[in-house]
Copies of this chain bind each other. A is one copy, B any other.
Amino acid sequence: MPPEADMTYESRDERLAAGRASYEAVMTYPGPGPTKPYYDGGVVGFVFAEMWPRPGLSRRDRRWVTLTCVATMGAHIPTQTHFHAALNSGDCTLEELDEFTLFFGTQCGWPRAQLVDQYVEQAANEIGLQRHGFERWAEPCDPDVRHARGRAAYEAIMCAPPPVNDTVFRRVGYLDYLYGEVWTRPVLTRRERRIIALCGAAIVQQEAEAHAYAALKSGDLTFEELQEIVLHFAVYCGWQSGALLDDIIVAAAERVAR
């Protein structure tokens, strides 16, 4: 059965009013007045009137999609405003955004994480939040113990055997550090890290099917939730990238069903 259009409005004015209310709830400041196609026909009329209020995914989950996407787009003001809004709305804590910054750095590159760090810092200062210690990384430093931990984590997270371990990247970067130290950290759940990793993977078009498959196979995300992630992702990364991710989640669901 084909999906329905969940958000429908009787008139253009009702749609714009709903979009402005949604904008203010999400962004924590009033939305723009009627000015131009980009706002009325796009930001307010679709992004906030029709996409953000959809059922099927919590507003907190939608934050992870949004934050991952804006931070990869090189768009400074949306990065600034969305990290501020995530914190200011109470949807995410400073500790969680700090942990997001590290995880996002591994998924989308350290230079982009620097921008995130800068705006998380700024938002925390503006809102007046303090840090109270944090988890550094898991002991021990022993490379073999860490490597074994990475292999076990990979298997549990990706629902697949670890990759053949015959390059520096697969050993040092992938299994030892990314899976052996980062995925196993506290503060963000495995399910939340999946949402971030899936979006990051879809942006660079690499490993997205494996993440979608594991999300479904593990039961961390349903196919209905993945569909909402795709629509949300498409808004923040563009329809073409959304079309790709849409095909990927359908393929992953078929693989799980087999």
**Residues of A in contact with B (beta carbons under 8 Å apart):** 2-6, 8-12, 15, 34-38, 40-43, 45-47, 50-51, 54, 56, 69-70, 73-79, 98-99, 101-102, 105-118, 131, 134-137, 139, 141-143, 146-147, 165-174, 176-178, 181-182, 185, 187, 200-201, 204-207, 227-228, 230-231, 234-246, 249-250
Interface of A is mostly: helix
* A102 proximity list for chain B (CB < 8 A): 37-38, 41-42
Interface pair A176/B38, CB less than 8 Å apart: no
Interface pair A236/B110, CB less than 8 Å apart: yes
* A2 proximity list for chain B (CB < 8 A): 165-166, 171
13 contacts across the A-B interface (CB closer than 8 A): A3-B171, A8-B142, A38-B116, A40-B134, A42-B101, A43-B110, A46-B181, A47-B110, A77-B115, A110-B235, A168-B228, A173-B230, A204-B240
CA distance A43 to B178 in the complex (A): 13
Question: How many copies of this chain does one complex carry?
Answer: 3
| Cβ contact of A37, chosen from B37, B99, B111, cutoff 8 A | B99
Interface pair A168/B79, CB less than 8 Å apart: no
CA distance A8 to B176 in the complex (A): 11
